[in-house]
Amino acid sequence: MMHDTLNTPRHRQIVALVQAHGFMSNEDLAQRLGVTVQTIRRDLNALAETGHVARYHGGASPTSSTENIAYGERQTLHSRAKDAIGACAAALIPDGSSLFINIGTTTEAFARALTGHRDLHVITNNLHVAVALSPRRDFRTVLAGGLVRPQDGGIIGAGATESLSGFRADFGVIGISGVEEDGTLLDFDLDEIQCARAIMRHARRVILLADHTKFTRKPVGRVGDLSMIDDFVTDRIPSAEFRAQLEKANVTLHVTDNV
């Protein structure tokens, strides 16, 4: 049972910020609220004890592990980092390639970064990606068949999984909702997970895109692990433990310039 912790205005502000952004660092909260980092740490400890936030090293996230942040909020959340990740990943794709692109705002940033490419064959279960790329006359864009999820334009279900499985592509570019330090890849929706697995099975080279906040989010659905990917593109250098897992799995790490 939650106590009356939220009776203080600052605690209410902290919870609102964490819920809106998915993850807030101690430093960001301190700057926004005009208090010391030590004060924020005490506040987060109290809020974590009463179940209002999930406390992690360096900050806090929402407590829910079963529901993703709303699409509109994800579009603006860490958008500069996502654009940098998208540009970094796009540089790995040669002209004339075939590639899968899955659901997610980071993969949408990747698709926007493909404007300088030529002669690509794209298979996607992301309606926004298909719309963004469809005007290109030298791109062949295939949209997977299935149920369109109204909140984010993701195409899911058995039809989408079967449709994706009908192709074999040079690259599979996927986003993810959470990454554990041991290399476990996590997501929220079972249908979305099945589509991501189909892409990983049928791509010759898998590129995973994830900004640093994905290390603090804990969805309950397991997509797979690092042995299933070849390249990991992120915006900050991961922990030594995670880098060791990347090396063990023979995954190439790509870190964007500071944004």
| Cβ proximity of 108 and 133 under 8 Å | no
pLDDT of residue 2: 43
Average pLDDT over residues 161-176: 97
For the cut 70, the answer to whether the pLDDT of residue 4 exceeds it is no
How confident is the model at residue 22, as a pLDDT?
67
- Residues 23 and 93 reside in one and the same domain: no
My answer on whether 52 and 96 are in the same domain is no
Question: Does one domain contain both 154 and 247?
Answer: yes
Has residue 197 got a pLDDT over 90? yes
Q: How many angstroms separate the CA atoms of 191 and 176, rounded?
A: 13
Q: Model confidence over 169-191: pLDDT tens digits? A: 999 999 998 999 999 999 988 88
66 part of a folded domain: no
Residue 106 lies in a domain: yes
Q: Which residues of 160-191 are buried (b: 16+ CB within 10 A; e: fewer)?
A: bbebbbebebbbbbbbbbbbbeebebbbbbeb
Give pTM, 2 decimals.
0.74
Residues 79 and 178 in one domain: yes
> Looking at residue 198, what is its pLDDT?
97
What would the pLDDT profile of 48-73 be if each residue is shown by its tens digit? 888 788 777 678 877 755 455 554 55
Same-domain status, 75 and 106: yes
Report helix, strand or coil for 118: coil
Return the CATH number at 196.
Answer: 3.40.50.1360
Domains held by the chain: number: 2
User: Tokens 């979305």 sit at which residue?
Assistant: 192
- Domain limit, last residue, from 18, 35, 61: 61
Q: Give the domain-ending residue among 61, 79, 105.
A: 61
Q: Are 189 and 213 in contact (CB under 8 A)?
A: no
Span 158-173, mean pLDDT?
A: 96
The tokens for 129 are: 């990606």
The mean per-residue pLDDT over the stretch 27-54 comes to 89
Question: Looking at the structure, do residues 22 and 92 belong to the same domain, yes or no?
Answer: no
Q: What angle do CA 196, 72, 18 make, to 5 degrees?
A: 95
Same domain, 119 and 160: yes
Full DSSP string of 43-64: HHHHHHHTTSSEEETTEEE-S-
Residues 250 and 173 in one domain: yes
Instruction: Check residue 18 and give its pLDDT.
Output: 84
Rounded mean pLDDT of the chain? 88
For residues 29 and 85, membership in a common domain is answered with: no
Domain membership of residue 56 as a residue range? 5-61
Regarding whether 214 and 137 lie in a shared domain, the answer is yes
Same domain, yes or no: 55 and 89: no
Rounded distance between C-alpha atoms, residue 186 and residue 192, angstroms? 11
Q: Residue 253: what pLDDT?
A: 98
**How many whole angstroms separate alpha carbon 69 and alpha carbon 22?**
7
Does 76 map to a domain? yes
- Predicted pLDDT at 76: 47
67 versus 147: which is more confidently predicted? Answer: 147
| Percentage of residues in the chain having pLDDT higher than 70 | 89
Q: Which helix (H) or strand (E) holds 187?
A: strand 184-187
Q: Are residues 47 and 79 in the same domain?
A: no
Average pLDDT of the segment spanning 13-36? 86
